[in-house]
Chains A and B, each alone.
Chain A
């Protein structure tokens, strides 16, 4: 992939953001008939006349897409009748939990997966490398639902070591230290589940691309110069193996978001996934819409950031400019 090829990515992300906003704006308007009554008749939420009027107004009397966009960026996302709270408050309240969980899992699995992949490629053909590749391929075949429930049954139910649900112990007064401990005890199982889902892919990909890089001639040069092995491995070779991992991140978004939703739901972790699950269960449409649009834009933003990082770390691009 050369420099001119990558240029197209920023417009692609902007377009994607526009498509998401348009979808979120127009899809509810395509619903036939008086869908507010229809939807809420089969839901657990009962609306009074005022609320029903409000909701109908929200979907029908909005002045248009421009207004919708302005409202979105000024955090006017509507009102959830299931939780009786403004949607912006619900989403922004859940966001830190999701960021903690997803961010932690990605950071850990990327760093450790990368190091393990580089070291495995370096020791190619050894028994540890073969066992590692085998185990990781096996792990790739286990979905988050499986790992999540099994870890829950074993560590929370059978052994009783870790809490089974929530993000922190409710109503407990804590000192800062024990609060952090409580937080990490709740984080441990969902984080481990996501780590087990993300790590194998990062490991296998880094190993694969590193094996290719190690065959190239500039590494002979680096070795011939008498550089220490660790320097050759990380300073010269691994930098090139980093790039596919960044590309892969963008391609795996669908898997990752879905997996995180499921894991949060299994452990009732108080993030966006559980919020979405609850919203779906009571058919709270404005809330579903808000979460979908907001998290899509976050995903796009993260991806755009990664593309920027990509362009900074790609040694070939640097040399070209």
Chain B
């Protein structure tokens, strides 16, 4: 990363806000054992009891501590986003580099494949698979990643093609550097900003999907998630529980989505060479 981009990032309010939320979330996840004294699966409390010093956010209709559920839900959503974002990024980078380096038929076939994947409404496949096979969250995340790499691959490919023609790569080739060396030593590090942008965008999509699909009831019902908490609490929205049961998961989910959105927006603003001319 160049010096001036680092300075630009640390001066961008969106980046700072996003990074601040990251810190809060990391703290919440790391401090879970100390923050919540209850087991989120313990159903032994008085159902629908209001907030107290014992249960900070009260107890839900199943007799489970809402605060403990909330912390576990945040962790699950973040984990889903990280796993899916990382996998999609790795696939996208590999395919993008392969396309740019080999060109020809390989490039054509992979790019047509990515056009088809872009056209397929991936959420529909996800819903179908989730409803039929009830796979584990990790399997669903990987499936989403397998369908989500094309945008990253296209961005990497386009930029790699530009770099490939640049003088220092030409020089390296003249001196007899191998393809693996050039890709590993020159192209991959130079594309680093694109990895950040791609990862933030994919993680954002994955977290949004996880929340929505768990809200729709497509995940294992025993898995704690923010979407499912919202779904359960929504049935009781007319009661006086909305502020301690319905609102906390909504706020947490909004914060998580804001975190990745702001980071993605700011990274794109700082690193996108097209926008830099502005």
| Chain A interface (Cβ < 8 Å from any Cβ of B) | 8-9, 11-13, 15-16, 19-20, 23-24, 27-28, 31, 137-138, 140-146, 149-150, 152-153, 157, 208, 211-212, 215, 250-251, 253-255, 257-259, 261-262, 265-266, 276-277, 280-281, 283, 285, 288-289, 292-293, 295-296, 299-300, 303
Query: Could you write out 24 A-B pairs with CB less than 8 Å apart?
Result: A9-B115, A19-B116, A137-B265, A141-B257, A143-B211, A143-B212, A145-B227, A145-B230, A145-B253, A146-B253, A146-B254, A150-B250, A157-B237, A157-B242, A250-B118, A253-B121, A259-B212, A265-B215, A265-B216, A277-B217, A280-B217, A285-B132, A288-B131, A289-B128
Q: Is the CB of A27 within 8 A of B132?
A: yes
Dominant secondary structure of chain B at its interface with chain A: helix
The residue that B242 contacts in the complex, of A15, A144, A153, with Cβ under 8 A, is A153
* Smallest CB gap from B112: residue in A: A8
Instruction: Count A-B pairs with CB separation below 8 Å.
Output: 146
- CA A13 – CA B127 in complex, angstroms? 20
Indicate whether A28 sits within 8 Å of B132 (C-beta atoms), given known contacts A143-B211, A255-B208, A303-B119. yes
B189–chain A nearest beta-carbon distance, Å = 28
The residue that B209 contacts in the complex, of A31, A138, A212, A254, with Cβ under 8 A, is A254
Contacts of B217 in A (CB 8 A): 277, 280-281
The residue that B115 contacts in the complex, of A8, A20, A141, with Cβ under 8 A, is A8
Report the interface size class on chain B.
35 or more
Q: Is the CB of A141 within 8 A of B234?
A: no
Contacts of A144 in B (CB 8 A): 212
* Smallest CB gap from A263: residue in B: B212
Indicate whether A153 sits within 8 Å of B115 (C-beta atoms), given known contacts A137-B265, A145-B230. no
Contacts of B151 in A (CB 8 A): 251
Contacts of A24 in B (CB 8 A): 128
B191 located at the interface, meaning its Cβ lies under 8 Å from any Cβ of chain A in the complex: no
Q: Is the CB of B215 within 8 A of A262?
A: yes
B250-274: CB near A (< 8 Å → 1, else 0) gives 1101100111011001000000001
The residue that B128 contacts in the complex, of A27, A215, A253, A258, with Cβ under 8 A, is A27
